[in-house]
Amino acid sequence: MNLNRNSYNHIRSFEDFENEKMKLYYQIKLSEKKLELRYIELTSFLNPMRFVPLLINSWLAPIAASIKNLIVGFFTNKENESNPKEEKEEKTV
């Protein structure tokens, strides 16, 4: 704020002074309420309960994929082991 500039030149009476005082008071209250709203928004955004599902989803997806790969690998290995034996039996018959 520029200290040389007087922004209160419009005050000519006590009534103007009182109006300016109330205006400044309401501006301060508005700023405080905006700050409180920002604080509430920030705390709700950073709430740990919001991060739990995110963490579970991010950890569960790779674990589920690896379990799926293990299961698929287990059954494909069983099929591969049984197929050569069946092929050998078919060739000998």
- Which three-class secondary structure state does DSSP give residue 42? helix
Same domain, 39 and 63: no
Helix (H) or strand (E) holding 82, with range, is: helix 48-92
5 in a structural domain: no
Same domain, 52 and 89: yes
11 and 17 Cβ atoms separated by less than 8 Å: yes
- Give the structural domain span for 33: 10-46
Count of domains for the chain: 2
- pTM, two decimal places: 0.46
Same domain, 26 and 62: no
pLDDT band at residue 21, thresholds of 50, 70 and 90? Answer: very high
pLDDT band at residue 37, thresholds of 50, 70 and 90? Answer: very high
Pairwise CA distance, residues 38 & 24, whole Å? 21
